[in-house]
Copies of this chain bind each other. A is one copy, B any other.
Amino acid sequence: MGGDFAPANEVAGAVASLRQSSQEFELILVGREQEIRKELSAHDVKGLLYSVVHAEEVITMEDSPNAALKQKKNSSLAIGMTLHKDGKADAFASAGNTGAVLSASTLILGRVKGVSRPTIGAFIPSEAGVCLLVDSGTNVDCRAQHLFEFAIMGSIYAKTIFKYENPKVALLNVGEEKLKGTEVVQEAYRLLEASSVNFIGNVEGRDILKGKAQVVVCDGFVGNIILKFGESIPSFLKTRLKQYAGGSLTRKLFLGLARGSLRASLRDLDYEEFGGVPVLGVNGVSIIGHGKSTPKAIKNMILRAVEVAKSRLNQHIEDAMTEALSAHPPPDAPRYAGVH
């Protein structure tokens, strides 16, 4: 209910996902029942496996995440996430308030053992296939240990969901040399170097779209800015091409042709294709979609949730964290747990 076009796009996408993978999963639509039923009546839902669970309240995009979770106990977010927590659903997905979904995931589902900060990654297209940028804006202030955990979780996600055999993991930095950048990234470099992650070292801003690494690790401040900068490129190109065409008819014709090619060739820059990004490091499956999700984006978000739920992703993350922590306990943890 929290998305910008809810529940219309949510219901349309839900119906499309059930149609595409009929019998593979069952969907529970959580929100204001009357509104949802009204939207459903516009679709042919015969034979589709779904149910509706009523939730009176809605957390909006303007709500402060933590306050909203406390005040709106009957929000579709709280009720949906609790269904998942209680085992009545195997995954949760929402195109609502990102901060609220993240908070609800952490507070209601809890963290995977060994993870100090859950994170959200984002998918970036590259010349060598899709790349996971992690953190994408969740944790703006990070210590080296956090970056280290993002690298481990991102690596497992790339392996388990993207099916990259031995994903290359890199730290985003201002140069390739080990001693470049802030103290935090230098320390993270040392942690990763000594880990079992397939760490290829530092990459620079220019290496992201080149696809030098399949997992690019940074703090959420940098990740958020890079992502939003990237999102603004198509609009910038459009304006530029328009200015260039000016009043010339020939140029306008070329421009029309150019735009078609450009649009087609940039298709997977489009968030719709990915549908949603996972909250990594929480005890469950929680997928967050873009607030402006189209029905197609909602469909892909739901199918992604099904895929992640089937993957045993969290077990893999827990195993990797346990291994990493036994080899390199964080500075504030006892080095030999047995002593205590």
Question: Do the beta carbons of B265 and A262 come within 8 Å of each other?
Answer: no
Tell me how many chains of this kind the complex includes: 2
Q: How many angstroms from the CA of A221 to the CA of B264 in the assembled complex?
A: 33
Contact digits for A250-261, partner B, Cβ 8 Å, 1 yes 0 no: 010011011111
With A241-B262, A265-B241 in contact, do A208 and B221 touch (Cβ < 8 Å)?
A: no
Contact digits for A221-232, partner B, Cβ 8 Å, 1 yes 0 no: 110111111111
Contact digits for A174-206, partner B, Cβ 8 Å, 1 yes 0 no: 100000011100000000000000000000111
Q: Does residue A172 face the partner (Cβ distance < 8 Å to B)?
A: yes
Choose one: B231, B243, B257; the contact of A265 (CB below 8 Å): B243
Q: Which of A127, A225, A266 has the most CB of B within 10 A?
A: A225
Q: Which residues of B contact A264 (CB under 8 A)?
A: 244
Question: Do the beta carbons of A205 and B221 come within 8 Å of each other?
Answer: no
Q: Does residue A161 face the partner (Cβ distance < 8 Å to B)?
A: no
Question: Do the beta carbons of B206 and A232 come within 8 Å of each other?
Answer: yes
Q: How many angstroms from the CA of A266 to the CA of B245 in the assembled complex?
A: 12
Q: Does residue A240 face the partner (Cβ distance < 8 Å to B)?
A: yes
Question: Do the beta carbons of A127 and B236 come within 8 Å of each other?
Answer: yes
Q: How many angstroms from the CA of A172 to the CA of B226 in the assembled complex?
A: 11
Q: Closest residue to A257 on the B side, CB-wise?
A: B254
Question: Do the beta carbons of B174 and A140 come within 8 Å of each other?
Answer: yes
- In the complex, chain A residues 134-189 whose Cβ is within 8 Å of any chain B Cβ: 137, 140-141, 172, 174, 181-183
Q: Does residue A237 face the partner (Cβ distance < 8 Å to B)?
A: yes
A338 to chain B, nearest CB (A): 37
Question: Do the beta carbons of A229 and B228 come within 8 Å of each other?
Answer: no
A80 to chain B, nearest CB (A): 25
- Chain A interface residue count, Cβ-Cβ cutoff 8 angstroms: 52
Q: Does residue A239 face the partner (Cβ distance < 8 Å to B)?
A: yes
Q: How many angstroms from the CA of A8 to the CA of B93 in the assembled complex?
A: 60
Question: Do the beta carbons of A209 and B222 come within 8 Å of each other?
Answer: no
Question: Do the beta carbons of B229 and A229 come within 8 Å of each other?
Answer: yes
Q: Does residue A210 face the partner (Cβ distance < 8 Å to B)?
A: yes
Question: Do the beta carbons of A225 and B261 come within 8 Å of each other?
Answer: no
Q: Which of A255, A258, A264 has the most CB of B within 10 A?
A: A258
Q: How many angstroms from the CA of A206 to the CA of B231 in the assembled complex?
A: 7
Q: Closest residue to A208 on the B side, CB-wise?
A: B229
With A241-B265, A244-B265, A258-B257 in contact, do A182 and B141 touch (Cβ < 8 Å)?
A: yes
Question: Do the beta carbons of A261 and B254 come within 8 Å of each other?
Answer: yes
Question: Do the beta carbons of B265 and A261 come within 8 Å of each other?
Answer: no
Q: Which residues of B contact A255 (CB under 8 A)?
A: 261
Interface residues of A (CB under 8 A from B): 126-127, 137, 140-141, 172, 174, 181-183, 204-210, 218, 220-222, 224-233, 235-237, 239-241, 243-245, 251, 254-255, 257-262, 264-266
CB<8 Å pairs between A and B, sample of 7: A172-B225, A181-B221, A208-B232, A209-B232, A210-B235, A225-B226, A254-B261
